[in-house]
Amino acid sequence: MLLLASFQFSFGQTYLDTSASLDHRVKDLISQLSLEEKASQMLMNTPGIPRLNIPPYDYWNEALHGVGRAGKATIFPQAIGLAATFDQDLIYRVSSAISDEARAKYHVAKAAGNYNRYAGLTFWTPNINIFRDPRWGRGQETYGEDPYLTSLLGISFVRGLQGDHPKYLKTAACAKHYAVHSGPEKLRHEFNAVVSDKDLYETYLPAFEALVNTGVESVMCAYNRTNDEPCCGSNYLLSEVLLQKWGFEGHILSDCWALVDFFSENGHGTVSNQAEAAALAVKSGVSLNCGSTYNALLDAVAQGLITESEIDEVLVPLLRTRFKLGMFDPVEDNPYSNISFDVVDGPAHRKLAHESAVKSTVLLKNNGVLPLQNDLNRYYVVGPNAATIDAMLGNYFGVSANIVTFLEGITARVAPGSQVQYSPGTTLDKPNVNPIDWSSGEAADADATFVVMGLTRHIEGEEGESISSPYFGDRLDYNIPQNQIEYLKKIKGSHGKPVIAVITGGTAMNLQEVHEIADAVVFTWYPGAEGGNALADIVFGNSIPSGRLPITFPKSLEQLPDYEDYSMAGRTYRYMSQEPMYPFGFGLSYSTFSYSDLTVSNTKISKKRTVELSCRITNTGLYRADEVVQLYITDQEASIRTPLFSLKGIRRVSLDPGQSETVTFTITPEMLALINEQGNSMPEKGSFTLTVSGSLPSERSLQLGASNWVQTQINLR
């Protein structure tokens, strides 16, 4: 066998030998590439190499909440909506379905000779940045403001995308945007995010480390600078932390055209030209350039800015990814090649999308009008987002032949003898020009009116996509457009009939007036292709709401620090001392729950001892329903600033009326450690409060109707 391997290597066949080691195959292929070919294989849209039978390949692909930008796919709720499920098992099932569809679509595209962008298997998702400020338009792509929840869901999503085969990746996932990246969107090509070591390791980096430890295949470096270093040329973030400290073995890629920011007039001004930018990125460990800067690698070598061997070093992990995806192996060797195209937007995945949309929906207010009967005489569905698919999608989405709007979902669920009427009533963000308004009068004659309002991707999102945003996708005023509020007031009028406000969007927004006016407030995020059916099932009582807020809703922007300030002081539930509009973790149900019998196996914990914490959860209401049980820890005697609360455990339980279940959490010393000013995790002796609840424990949660909570204390010795 050794002789055979040597013979194959000498004639350029070892990279095709599936019995050879992965590293041997990769190095053999690299040895046969010219410098020009090596540079070309480090661009996002790599050309084919006919003499080696290597077809073209474009690395750029998206799967944030379904296979994106590549035609037919199941559209799941936007990432922030998935986060609102607080359900890591569901997230795993969703991402497994996405990767099934990705594999099926890839093999069909390959058979058709389609090597275009968005046809590959390298997906640039999930976005695990911390949603530190609701003004950021891309916060909808994240799993919210909490590092623990983001880590938990990010791990599940990566595992579902990449599969569990010992040799092959199902698809390749990517942790982005590394690191300390959450606005302002308009300034992202020049912005310097200044952050302390404590905030860096306590808030911004934990999810990235968690995904590296899970085996995420790639990491995307961000546009901005962090502490004066451009993220895609940061010796500290890339070399010292990601590669050396965490031992990341996958490939690093740049955000798209981020390397241009190294030398552009309105960028970072780190280097003078394209060749210097390419050399800096390679020396920093960036294997893949989304953009065209690596076209200058030949010039960089000629100028002595970098060596070919340094290029080889970063090419190794990049090609390793393609080998792990099976791109150089016979199709029949890869079990994922057998996934049928029938799964794409098929019945099983539609059912999963429906479950996800139901579990992501958050009931923020209910004065008793919900659930509604579905056989009332007349329902009125109004508002700018009632019949538009844009309210279903968010950004980075696929398409489907059956995207069910809220109007369609409600219409499909009412009884045959009932009527449904519809009017948009007002535009998304501009006052009506025509002063005549028939719809508010018609609402007075309806038995119940749904006002579907809020945001779409036209107002919030990424730079360049949000065509109605004056702030490049950010939202610096925080409010729902005032014309929508005025319209809601007119619809409510004085008729006394139920008015249900249905809010779409991917972020926190000022809902104080909406809360005061409407009889019920339902937050749907961007719920995906089954969003209309999911909403209808919830409002008519076929499904019970159980979503929880993965972000805090401040009462106003006056409660927040400056947008460009990356200090966590005053931000998120962990450091915000002011009373919010809606707390983190909050969400109502049609049922009620009680928490009791909190027990702890030992009141003292040490480095060698864990503690078991148990709590009895009882459904005290009339409906079978899910409760999202949350564990929070508070350090009562910390010598430095620590979070007011830290989420450290989640359990979703489903209970019949009167049924109870005991939920148990294991408390470890690591869960009690604090992050000091140097960014180091360290245990500190003292007292800790453990709280088990269905929402962030606060007076505001109780005012809004959340369940009470139970607490106990333990001591770290």
Q: Which of 256-260, 465-469, 506-510 has the lowest mean pLDDT?
A: 465-469
Q: Is the pLDDT of residue 341 over 60?
A: yes
Give the domain 55-337 fold: TIM Barrel (3.20.20)
Instruction: Work out the percent of the chain whose per-residue pLDDT is above 90.
Output: 97
3-state secondary structure 119-154: CCCECCCCECCCCCCCCCHHHHHCCCCCHHHHHHHH
- Summarize the chain as % helix, strand, coil (round to 5): 35, 20, 45
Sequence length of the chain is: 717
Q: Which helix (DSSP H) or strand (DSSP E) does residue 619 occupy? A: strand 611-619
Give me the mean pLDDT over the 593-622 stretch. 96
Q: Is the pLDDT of residue 3 over 90?
A: no
Return d(Cα 293, Cα 32) in angstroms, integer.
23
Among all chains, which residue has been given the structure tokens 């050794």?
A: 2
Question: Residues of CATH 2.60.40.10 domain(s) within the chain?
Answer: 593-716
Sheet (strand 251-254) strand order: 174-178, 218-221, 251-254, 286-288
Going through 180-223 in order, the beta strands assigned E by DSSP cover 192-193, 218-221
Diameter over CA atoms, the chain: 90
pLDDT at 333: 96
Which own/partner contact pairs does 157-160 have at CB distance under 8 Å and 24+ positions apart? 157/91, 157/92, 157/94, 157/95, 157/125, 157/126, 158/95, 158/126, 158/211, 158/214, 158/215, 158/216, 159/92, 159/95, 159/214, 160/91, 160/92, 160/93, 160/94, 160/95, 160/96, 160/97, 160/98, 160/99
What are residue 382's DSSP bridge partners?
423, 451
pLDDT at 35: 98
Q: What is the mean pLDDT of the chain?
A: 96
pLDDT at 608: 85
Helix 88-111, helix 347-360: angle, nearest 10: 140
pLDDT digits (tens, 9 = 90+) for 152-165: 999 999 999 999 99
Give me the mean pLDDT over the 569-594 stretch. 98
The encoded tokens of residue 371 equal 């659930």
Q: Is the peptide bond before 179 cis (omega within 30 degrees of 0)?
A: yes
For the domain bounded by 593-716, which CATH number is listed?
2.60.40.10
CATH H superfamily, domain 347-575: Glycoside hydrolase family 3 C-terminal domain (3.40.50.1700)
Among the listed residues 53, 56, 46, the one whose alpha carbon sits nearest the alpha carbon of residue 13: 53
pLDDT at 4: 32
If one counts every other C-beta atom within 10 angstroms of the C-beta of residue 292, the result is 15
Render 437-504 in DSSP notation, one character per residue: --HHHHHHHSSEEEEEEE--TTTSSSTTT-TT-TTTT--SS-BPPHHHHHHHHHHHTTT---EEEEEE
User: Is the sign of the CA dihedral 480, 483, 487, 490 positive or negative?
Assistant: positive
| Cα end-to-end distance, the chain, whole Å | 59
The encoded tokens of residue 479 equal 């409010």
Burial class of residue 549 in the structure, from the number of CB atoms within 10 Å of its CB (0-12 exposed, 13-18 middle, 19+ buried): buried
Q: Which position among 28, 62, 87, 460 bears the catalytic label?
A: 460
Q: Which helix (DSSP H) or strand (DSSP E) does residue 287 occupy? A: strand 286-288
Sheet (strand 660-667) strand order: 593-600, 611-619, 660-667
CA distances from 135 to 182, 185, 432, 473, 618 (A): 9, 10, 26, 9, 38
Residue 678 has phi, psi (to 5 degrees) of: -90, 0
Question: Residues of CATH 3.20.20.300 domain(s) within the chain?
Answer: 55-337
3-state secondary structure 322-353: HHHCCCCCCHHHCHHHHCCHHHCCCHHHHHHH
3 state SS of 214: helix
pLDDT digits (tens, 9 = 90+) for 254-277: 999 999 999 999 999 999 999 999
Give me the mean pLDDT over the 543-552 stretch. 98
Whether residue 677 lies in the annotated active site: no
CA distances from 88 to 110, 207, 216, 232, 356 (A): 32, 14, 17, 30, 11
pLDDT at 607: 84
CA 4 to chain centre: 48
Cβ(581)–Cβ(554) below 8 Å:
yes
Helix 206-214, helix 147-162: angle, nearest 10: 30
pLDDT digits (tens, 9 = 90+) for 622-659: 999 999 999 999 999 998 999 999 999 999 999 999 99
Instruction: Work out the percent of the chain whose per-residue pLDDT is above 70.
Output: 98
pLDDT digits (tens, 9 = 90+) for 86-95: 999 999 999 9
Whether residue 190 lies in the annotated active site: no
User: 12 pLDDT band (50/70/90 cuts)?
Assistant: low
Question: Residues of CATH 3.40.50.1700 domain(s) within the chain?
Answer: 347-575
Q: Is the pLDDT of residue 363 over 80?
A: yes
Q: Which position among 87, 145, 209, 255 bears the catalytic label?
A: 255
pLDDT digits (tens, 9 = 90+) for 675-697: 999 999 999 999 999 999 999 99
